[in-house]
Amino acid sequence: MVEKEIEEITQGEVTEALPSTMFRVEFLDGKIIICYLAGKMRLHRIKVLIGDKVMVKLDPYGGKGRIIKRL
């Protein structure tokens, strides 16, 4: 069987809102990455604004992050 890769969950702050519910997020270590909203957040229409603290699940292959929770 193929083992599932462990996804890393980190906290960050939204610094910029981009089109198509994409956001630029800065993490506590200073790293900046582009993230998109998780499906449940879109479904329940949870608004994310600049300056919000968010939990992000990072892709193990170094792609985009997925915002899973607004703090």
Per-residue pLDDT tens over the stretch 6-45: 778 999 999 999 999 999 999 999 999 999 999 899 999 9
Residue 37 is given by DSSP the state E
Are 14 and 25 a contacting pair, CB within 8 Å?
yes
Are 70 and 46 a contacting pair, CB within 8 Å?
yes
- CA distances (Å), origin 1, targets 8, 59, 68: 22, 21, 28
pTM of the model: 0.86
Residue 30 is given by DSSP the state S
Are 17 and 23 a contacting pair, CB within 8 Å?
yes
Domains of the chain, start order: 8-70 (2.40.50.140)
